[in-house]
Structure 1
Amino acid sequence: MNSEESLDITDTKFLFDLAEKYLEMKDKTSARCAYLNLLMLDPDNEKARQGISDLTGEKYIIKEVGHSDAIFCAIWLSDGVHIASGGADNTVLVWHYPSGRIVRFFDGHNSTITALARHPKMPILASGSESGLILIHNVFTCKKKAIEDHHGKITRLLWSPEGKRFISCSSDGTIIIWDETFDPLFILKEHRSPILDVKWSPGGRYLLSYSADGVMNVWNPRTGRLVYRLEDMVSKIYYADWSPIGDKIVTASADGTVKIFDIKLRTPQILGRHDHIVSHAIWLRSDIIISIGWDGKIVVWDPFRMQKTRELGTHIAPIIKATVSRNEKFLITISLDRTIKVWNLRFFKHLINFKGHNHMISYVDWHPNQGKILTASWDRSIIVWDIYRQEREQVLYKDVNTITALDWSQDGKILAVGYSDGSMSLIDMSTMKIISKKKIHNSMISALSWNKDSTLLASASADASIAIIDPQKNVILCKNKIFDLNINSCRFNPKEDVLI
């Protein structure tokens, strides 16, 4: 990273000064981002609250920071001490490692985060979403830029190895090559189906793209010209990888075949077969290809002899994720049963199993320069694993207490807020501060209602109970289970203290 690496990412004065600077530049989006991140670190900062209000008209009260839904992607940033994550809650979080603290929060997407990419040298992060929106974030300075040129789900984002080109591809069938300032250089439109991935060739001479209809295109990224077009209309391609010298491509297909394409001859050769979908085919070295399938098998092939040399091992469930370490010493495979297996590729043997997630594992990424991986899951957690020490090193997880019910007092001075854990807060709207918080129910609060003079507050819950609270004394006057099933609503009569 550059000199920005020496900055303190949690310096609130630095963030406030940045927000003021962005306002002078009339960059309201970046100013709002800086204010929000300042308030995440210092929730009672009145200057930032006022700044948000002046900028957007929003009255900032409080924000629970963490993922409230499944994490679909997570990556190490290039400094190796920060992790970015995104998912179904439309937000991107940046975590400090190893403290586990959330140090940045980026909103702005209106749909699920489907792709993340790190700049190889700068503290810059790109996020793409289901809607086709791409946001570029400077992790240190909160500077933001929106790119809205795609019209379908972003399927892949990546930078060139030196960081001078940025690539985006989408389910709309387009690939866009951007310069360092994120101005489009080339828009590539030769695909007619959703693009699954793009990959730089060894040395960066070519760019490979492949789509769900079996089309693979090889591009010259300096001119935007289509150089080679390869087609496999019989087998739906799931994965493709370059040979080490960039003259051939290996593919993994839905029909269980592993094929090799010579980019000049364009005619495929079948290397071998699995009993089910092949999810990955990795060209490890000139004489070694590894294929991984939904049949749970990991197979090693010799591309010169066009034959299978060994079966490395198996999972008992379909293998959905696989990645090789940067030094090519280790292979990670992940199956639907949430088992992570580590394989030694020098001796071709199984090393260790890891298990720790409670839901499907959605992403895996190697540390930039250490023998560690992170895995992200639908259970909203990220786990860091140390391969050399063969242990789980850290779990990054922040439980988010989501808001499930709201109601104003009759005079509009107090806001009652119900949460997913059964607790309730009262907020003074003149100061925008929480004046009390109390656990009321054992499950989600589904409804809140003030009586006619705001001396009583009723709450309903998914635990099938109703509670009556004295808001002045912050005490529960009574709580009763009314039904055997969830209670969805409750309401005081506007003229008398009768509750329905």
Structure 2
Amino acid sequence: MQLAGQLWGRMQHFAVPEIQAMLKLAKQQVLPWFCPLTSNLISPGGSLLLTLSGHSLYVSAVALTPDGKKVISASADNTLKLWNLETGEDEWTFQGHSGSVNAVAITPDGKRVISGSSDNTLKLWNLETGKDERTFQGHSGSVFAVALTPDGKRMISASSDKTLKLWNLETGEDERTFKGHSDPVLAVALTPDGKRVISASHDSTLKLWNLETGEDKRTFYGHRDYVRAVAITPDGKRVISASSDSTLKLWNLETGEDERTFYGHSGSVYAVALTPDGKRLISTSHDSTLKLWNLETGKDERTFQGHSGSVFAVALTPDGKRLISASSDRTLKLWNLETREDERIFNCHSGFVLALALSPDGKRVISASFDSILKLWNLETGEDERTFYGHSGPVLALALTPDGKGLISVSHDRTLKLWNLETGKDERTFYGHSGSIYALALTPDGKRVISASYDRTLKLWNLETGEDERTFYGHSGRVDALALTPDGKRVISASYDRTLKLWNLETGEDERTFYGHSGRVDALALTPDGKGLISVSYDRTLKLWNLETGEDERTFYGHSDSVYAVALTPDGKRVISTSHDRTLKLWNLETGENERTFYGHNGLVYAVALTLDGKRVISASNDNTLKLWNLETGEEIATFTGEAPFFCCAVAADGVTIVAGESSGRVHFLRLENV
């Protein structure tokens, strides 16, 4: 069913007549399918040789046997696995740890393996029998790293208890403890002569220790964030460190000098490996790339990969021809929906980009970031026209005033700010909340704004005077969502305290509290006539409320887990919900009937979007798929499988172009064919 889509996703860029002929033939199928508009999946004939699947949670570490024929993996599922690299077979699973396995090292003879775990222990395993030969106890925190001495008789472990320990493999004795770091120790490496050890820490430093005396011989300062990995050059004279500050550094072990800094990654650098000749370095990063560096010149010789991190937000230009995406890779991208080309990258933030707002004319975009700043970008030139400094915490949400001249931002620093888009001036800061602000809503006249906070209150602010006109008290849990009635006179709030409240903006009166949910309320939607309210909850239900009477007119039961998202059909008569239970459900708002359940996903469903005619629905799931459904029959019309969980999806104005964001950072452009 997916053959045509997979072929187009992986091979359309091959300028080979036979392949192009095959793709044209595949496109002639008569069944509905998602046709990728770009080569959006891993191509055949590349460097990927084998994928080893079997762990039930993420893989933390790997080590190769000396003969290079097998690999050991360590996982957060509390196990290690021994894999055959020729066949891909899982030859052995090592069970015994009661916490995630974070580190692994193989003895020089290739017969035994050491593991370090979040259960505060290390274990010595026999690779032939799978037997747990010895458990090393002594750390008071998780073991993050382990390294063996060249003779294979001793090992050094690094722990969250801020220490390193030297162990005798035969006796299990804790021979020495190395104290000096002020935060957890994340990585460790031994010099080739086995006489010195380098440790890397959460305290942003590296330390050089004498293995025999335990003396702290040198501390290396320079990184601005956690140091996550280290590697020593074959001659034992220099060390490379990788950090959460997105850089690598080359240090002289004798002098402590920072000889070179390698810039280029846009996320934390997690791991490093030296080529055997010691001349080049490979690094891996949270930005989802690998880089090959020349150690002498510091040059980034090659990047192995759009986006290199999760996509958090998307916005379409008013003409529907271009799309802006915001990512954890700290960038925005401008995409041409017609050509699928990445027209421009906006790269200046030093933190995740969390929110976007487009100017009414569609010519500029404002971005908000974890780095506490906002930026105004010109979409045509890519120019960073203005940076808005002032917040002291991550910026979580944005709203433009109706005239497009002012911008309101809310932050983790507990404030709102009103900015002049032309001057960049912070015209007003709204102080008053005692907790992070999660939601905001502008009144239709653009003169006032309502904010909702972790401090359990809402506030009504006058944008002209900055005055806190009113504080709405009543919730006993944080307020996560807001919805204004169409006349702009009342606001509905949804809270962790399991209630909704209807507030009169003029009097501040809590006109009505809606009781009934037994779990936090996560999202709200008003019916088109403004008389009804739909809420979805962690308690696995949806509710339809009468705004005037406060009556719970209907509860929609049927989901077996938390409800995440809702979408109303264009006529306002039915609602679609998505859930952690891996299904979508179509509900009749008048009767409360569950008209249809859409089965097919094998992971939680994050997002839902309706086509403009209201006849079909697209769902996005962490099972790595997008699905197209017939709303009337419940039939699964087509499926597209990506290579990572899908977080978001949107339908373009033509009704057949689909844009979807993956956790890997890919933005997929697909066209519905034969629909």
Q: Out of 302, 312, 325, which is 1:85 matched to?
A: 325
Q: Give the deviation of 1:135 after TM superposition.
A: 2.0
Q: Is the 8 A contact 2:516 2:552 kept in 1?
A: no
CA distance in 1, matches of 2:376, 2:324: 13
1:213 corresponds in structure 2 to: 455
Q: Give the deviation of 1:62 after TM superposition.
A: 6.2
1:106 corresponds in structure 2 to: 346
Change in Cα spacing, 1:336 to 1:190, as seen in structure 2 (3 Å) is same
Name the TM-score, length of structure 2 as normaliser.
0.44
Q: Out of 46, 56, 68, which is 2:308 matched to?
A: 68
Amino acid at match of 2:513: I
Change in Cα spacing, 1:168 to 1:364, as seen in structure 2 (3 Å) is farther
Amino acid at match of 1:287: K
Q: Out of 540, 545, 548, which is 1:301 matched to?
A: 545
CA distance in 1, matches of 2:603, 2:338: 23
Q: Give the deviation of 1:281 after TM superposition.
A: 3.0
Q: Give the deviation of 1:303 after TM superposition.
A: 2.0
Amino acid at match of 1:301: W
Amino acid at match of 2:307: H
Change in Cα spacing, 1:303 to 1:399, as seen in structure 2 (3 Å) is closer
Matched, 1:281 2:541: no
Instruction: State the SS of the aligned residue for 1:136.
Output: strand
1:348-396, Cα deviation, whole Å (9 max, x unpaired): 7768777898977767789999999988777365764559999884556
CA distance in 2, matches of 1:141, 1:355: 46
Amino acid at match of 2:353: I
2:562 corresponds in structure 1 to: 318
Matched, 1:262 2:504: yes
Bigger CA radius of gyration: 2
Which structure has more relative contact order (CA 8 Å, sep 6+)? It is: 1
Q: Is the 8 A contact 1:243 1:249 kept in 2?
A: yes
Amino acid at match of 2:559: H
CA distance in 1, matches of 2:377, 2:585: 33
CA distance in 2, matches of 1:151, 1:373: 41
1:172 corresponds in structure 2 to: 413
Equivalent residue runs for 1:408-487 within 5 Å? none
Matched, 1:290 2:534: yes
CA distance in 1, matches of 2:607, 2:482: 18
CA distance in 2, matches of 1:310, 1:175: 37
Change in Cα spacing, 1:386 to 1:125, as seen in structure 2 (3 Å) is closer
Change in Cα spacing, 1:204 to 1:124, as seen in structure 2 (3 Å) is same
CA distance in 1, matches of 2:371, 2:388: 11
Equivalent residue runs for 1:339-418 within 5 Å? 339=583, 379=644, 381=646, 384=649, 393=658, 395=660
Q: Is the 8 A contact 1:72 1:363 kept in 2?
A: no
Change in Cα spacing, 1:165 to 1:110, as seen in structure 2 (3 Å) is same
Amino acid at match of 1:295: D
Q: Is the 8 A contact 2:578 2:607 kept in 1?
A: no
Q: Is the 8 A contact 1:240 1:249 kept in 2?
A: yes
Q: Is the 8 A contact 1:67 1:380 kept in 2?
A: no
CA distance in 2, matches of 1:64, 1:373: 35
**How many residue pairs are counted as aligned between the two chains?**
345
Change in Cα spacing, 1:107 to 1:374, as seen in structure 2 (3 Å) is farther
CA distance in 2, matches of 1:358, 1:107: 36
Amino acid at match of 1:210: A
Q: Out of 155, 173, 186, which is 2:396 matched to?
A: 155
Identity %: 22
Q: Is the 8 A contact 1:127 1:135 kept in 2?
A: yes
Change in Cα spacing, 1:99 to 1:303, as seen in structure 2 (3 Å) is same
Change in Cα spacing, 1:91 to 1:311, as seen in structure 2 (3 Å) is same
Amino acid at match of 1:148: Y
Q: Out of 120, 134, 150, which is 2:374 matched to?
A: 134
CA distance in 1, matches of 2:584, 2:363: 30
1:460 corresponds in structure 2 to: none
Amino acid at match of 2:518: D
Q: Out of 315, 333, 336, which is 2:580 matched to?
A: 336
Q: Is the 8 A contact 2:559 2:581 kept in 1?
A: no
CA distance in 2, matches of 1:358, 1:117: 34
CA distance in 2, matches of 1:303, 1:280: 16
CA distance in 2, matches of 1:168, 1:371: 37
Change in Cα spacing, 1:311 to 1:399, as seen in structure 2 (3 Å) is closer
CA distance in 1, matches of 2:298, 2:610: 40
CA distance in 2, matches of 1:389, 1:331: 23
Name the TM-score, length of structure 1 as normaliser.
0.58
Amino acid at match of 1:260: L
Q: Is the 8 A contact 1:196 1:210 kept in 2?
A: yes
CA distance in 2, matches of 1:95, 1:365: 20
Q: Give the deviation of 1:90 after TM superposition.
A: 1.9
CA distance in 2, matches of 1:387, 1:294: 30
CA distance in 2, matches of 1:250, 1:110: 35
Q: Give the deviation of 1:132 after TM superposition.
A: 0.9
Q: Is the 8 A contact 2:606 2:647 kept in 1?
A: no
1:176-210, Cα deviation, whole Å (9 max, x unpaired): 11123132221111212101011112343421111
Q: Out of 92, 99, 120, which is 2:360 matched to?
A: 120
Instruction: State the SS of the aligned residue for 1:273.
Output: coil
In the alignment, structure 1 segments of 5+ residues that lack a partner are: 1-56, 402-500
2:479 corresponds in structure 1 to: 237
CA distance in 1, matches of 2:406, 2:662: 33
Tell me the C-alpha RMSD between the 2 structures: 4.1
Change in Cα spacing, 1:326 to 1:177, as seen in structure 2 (3 Å) is farther
The structure that is helix-richer by fraction is: 1
